Amino acid sequence: MAIYVDEKRKLFTLETEHSAYQMIVDRYGYLIHLHYGGRLAGGDCEGLNAAGYMDFSPAPDAAGTYREYSLDLQYQEYPSAGAGDYRSPCLAATLAGGGRNLDLCYASHRVLPEKPALQGLPALHGDCETLEITLKDRYTDLEVVLLYSLFPEYDAIARSARVVNRTGGAVELDAALSACLDLPDGRGLDLIHFWGRHTMERMVDRTPLTHGKISVDSVRGASSHQHNPFVILCDHMATEDAGRCWGASLLYSGNFTACAEMDQSQSCRLTMGIHPAGFRWRLEDGEEFQTPEAALCFSPEGLGGLSRRYHRLYRRRLCRGEWALKQRPVLINNWEATYFDFDDDKLVQIARQASQLGVEMLVMDDGWFGSRYDDNRALGDWVVNTEKLRGGAARLCRRINELGMKAGIWFEPEMVSEDSDLYRAHPDWCLQVPGRGRSRGRNQLVLDMSRQEVRDCVHDMIYKVLSSANFSYVKWDMNRHLTDVWSAALPADRQGELYHRFILGVYDLLERLTGEFPHILFEGCSGGGGRFDAGMLYYTPQIWCSDDTDAIERLEIQYGTSFGYPVSAVGSHVSACPNHQTGRTVPFHTRGVVAMSGTFGYELDLTKITEEEKEQVKAQVKQYHKQYALINDGDYYRLTDPAKEDLTAWEFAAEDGSRALLNIVYSHVRSNCPPCVLYLRGLTPGARYRMTDDGGRVLGEYTGAALMNGGFRAPRARTGYPAGAVDYAAFQFQLERV
């Protein structure tokens, strides 16, 4: 398992535990993709699946009068535009003089014993080898350095590209993507992607590839609720347990594209990176442009196998700092409990009740600063409102700490309200085009995060608050998308750099504050899960998954999220019923079972719940603590698809097979419904397991093989008859190896 280079043939093979990636330099100097998939047992694929010839696919100059070679048909590692490849390029540039065709050929390579840092960008980390291949334009000194870092035990490869301009003049980059994957036959493949909207993020869409392009993207300035920068290619027949699956996940939080294209020759090209729309980057002579990183992963064991690889990879090699693997506190957030209507006494009252029930942290959400009495004002004024918090933040934290609890706080650093002191002092600090109107979202404007002085000012305000009191947690929100993307700090011909510079600015501020406050747990958020991406997870190891806290809707949201992201990343809370988003009423127990499959917490006024519910909170916190390691470090198995079944079942199994937790929630209750049989996963076939239900009753002892192959019939949900209300029942079964 390593990087193998056949120096003579310029054949490069990257081997992980269950995958191989192979490429070769061909006779014209092009870097050709040979294989990505199952292992090759030391062999190679050269000549096995060579690209063919087709009319109207021109030959590059390097092939002279030989007609049967075209870049239009070759499987390539980093295709460029203008020299006969009409599919989606990774690199498009305008050279001095206006020429737009590039001819990127192999120049050199080296194997590094580590992973080079990507300046200012999130990246996978840890010990690993990196293959660096430099391509060079045949006619100028424009270079592209391709990076492939290998994570063998996760079957993952981190890819990115660095464009280096040594041409002697300026070059305009029109597109600079992170990775390309050319697979020889797209006809048997499906694309799975995750679409959505505010309060309904990461719905699963699975579609066969079609001739033409399927583009999944965002041009909103954030990765967005609407599409997630994570896609999967898989065999038509791929299931949770079987079939080839290729994942591509972008470590980036801004505009992105993931484009799957099937062309005239039926081959499939997947390209991924910064969306070229609205992007144009001027690279002066001697300058470099580093693309974000894409984490590719291959699973020969179906979609479940792919997800488990990403879960482990992202927990151990993406999330950083003290909180990456540390047990997260069970929190109570006051947003749905009070909205803007709170003061210090009210918060302490909630905290007191919460502490008595075992909750470990109170998070003070939006509304504690400036004149923030509603959501029309005060963003940007990160100064404690002492009418609401008498005695300031320090006193509030002290009072919460005295209850044995930690304290957390909410910020929305990238935004400004027109009605704010910050805006009045610096009306030119927001994104806006001079002489034109601005679009408002939630009545707020977006700060120009590309500017150092803007970041410094926001930083200083946040720094002051965080260092003035004993906060253990920060929720970092972002509640609108970008419009009017124009910066007073950039010349007219560099405005195309702003979307990317904005995100680099956000990353810079995150890097600074997470570095200055290493003990603080940062949670990402953007109107719920509108920036739930691998880029943010590098800075914030958990992200509020959705503003939809309805347990039944959360089943689908958390199901979709689980394809690419670990449970430890998924902020999930028990909220009040009738639910504030849907009006639905769901049993308290069910809300707990769903929220427990995430970074667990509460989001309701605990002083207003019944005594019986208080007992349930205590039991839930106890159960969460007991199962914490299994839920967060265990293997995650999706047993049913909530969009297709009346019940959703999922399981956590310890990597060593010693224990498991089976979760079942009914989302639809039918009369006289047929039984649902669940086949458990991840157990040791020959071992015996004791099975207990939520009430601690032992149901029996069974072998792992019996539970996995024989199946377990899910208990039936109770219908509303004769009581009336439909029961969204939930069950948890524990399995312990005896």
Q: Is 637 in contact with 650 (CB distance < 8 Å)?
A: yes
Q: Is 434 in contact with 480 (CB distance < 8 Å)?
A: no
Angle at alpha carbon of residue 632, lines to 628 and 635, rounded to 5°: 120
Instruction: Report the nearest approach of ligand GLA to the CB of residue 571 (Å).
Output: 9
Q: Which of 523, 733, 707 is nearest to 627 (CA)?
A: 733
**Nearest-angstrom CA–CA distance, 734 and 661:** 5
b/e per residue 1-30 (b: at least 16 CB within 10 A): bebbbeeeebbbbbbbebbbbbbbbbebbb
Full 3-state SS string of 610-676? CHHHHHHHHHHHHHHHHHHHHHHHCEEEECCCCCCCCEEEEEEECCCCCEEEEEEEECCCCCCCCCC
Q: Which residue has the tokens 């503003």?
A: 547
Q: Is 410 in the site for ligand GLA (CB under 6 A)?
A: yes
Of the pair 33, 554, the CB lying nearest ligand GLA is at: 554
Of the pair 165, 479, the CB lying nearest ligand GLA is at: 479
Stretch that binds ligand GLA, among 103-111, 176-184, 316-324, 525-533 (CB under 6 A): 525-533
**Nearest-angstrom CA–CA distance, 554 and 201:** 9
Instruction: Report the nearest approach of ligand GLA to the CB of residue 359 (Å).
Output: 17
Sign of the alpha-carbon dihedral angle for 574, 575, 576, 577: negative
Where would I find the H helices in 403-445? 421-425
Candidate residues 477, 533, 556, 651; the one interacting with ligand GLA per rule CB under 6 A:
477
Residue 437 token pair: 């109107």
Q: Is 302 in the site for ligand GLA (CB under 6 A)?
A: no
Q: Is 524 in the site for ligand GLA (CB under 6 A)?
A: no
Which residue of this chain has its Cβ atom nearest to ligand GLA in the complex?
366
Catalytic site residue 533? yes
Q: Is 420 in the site for ligand GLA (CB under 6 A)?
A: no
Q: How far is CA 268 from the centre of its chain?
A: 24
Residue 649 token pair: 């079942």
Q: Is 602 in the site for ligand GLA (CB under 6 A)?
A: no
**Nearest-angstrom CA–CA distance, 514 and 492:** 34
Candidate residues 137, 143, 547, 556; the one interacting with ligand GLA per rule CB under 6 A:
547
Instruction: Report the nearest approach of ligand GLA to the CB of residue 210 (Å).
Output: 35
Among the options 336, 344, 533, 556, which is catalytic? Answer: 533
Of the pair 304, 529, the CB lying nearest ligand GLA is at: 529
Candidate residues 122, 152, 413, 527; the one interacting with ligand GLA per rule CB under 6 A:
527
Q: Is 548 in the site for ligand GLA (CB under 6 A)?
A: no
Q: Is 273 in contact with 11 (CB distance < 8 Å)?
A: no
Instruction: Report the nearest approach of ligand GLA to the CB of residue 477 (Å).
Output: 5
Instruction: Report the nearest approach of ligand GLA to the CB of residue 527 (Å).
Output: 5
Instruction: Report the nearest approach of ligand GLA to the CB of residue 368 (Å).
Output: 11
Q: Is 201 in the site for ligand GLA (CB under 6 A)?
A: no
Instruction: Report the nearest approach of ligand GLA to the CB of residue 408 (Å).
Output: 11
Q: Using CA atoms in the order 485, 491, 492, 497, what is the torsion angle rounded to 10 degrees?
A: -50
Q: Is 528 in the site for ligand GLA (CB under 6 A)?
A: yes
Here's the x/- map for ligand GLA, 367-386, by CB under 6 A: it reads as --------x-----------
Candidate residues 240, 366, 448, 556; the one interacting with ligand GLA per rule CB under 6 A:
366
Instruction: Report the nearest approach of ligand GLA to the CB of residue 475 (Å).
Output: 6
Among the options 613, 693, 727, 736, which is catalytic? Answer: 613
Of the pair 301, 365, the CB lying nearest ligand GLA is at: 365
β-pair partners for 190: 208, 234
Q: Is 77 in the site for ligand GLA (CB under 6 A)?
A: no
Residues that bind ligand GLA (CB under 6 A): 335, 365-366, 375, 410, 477, 479, 525, 527-528, 544, 547
As annotated, the active-site residues are: 533, 613
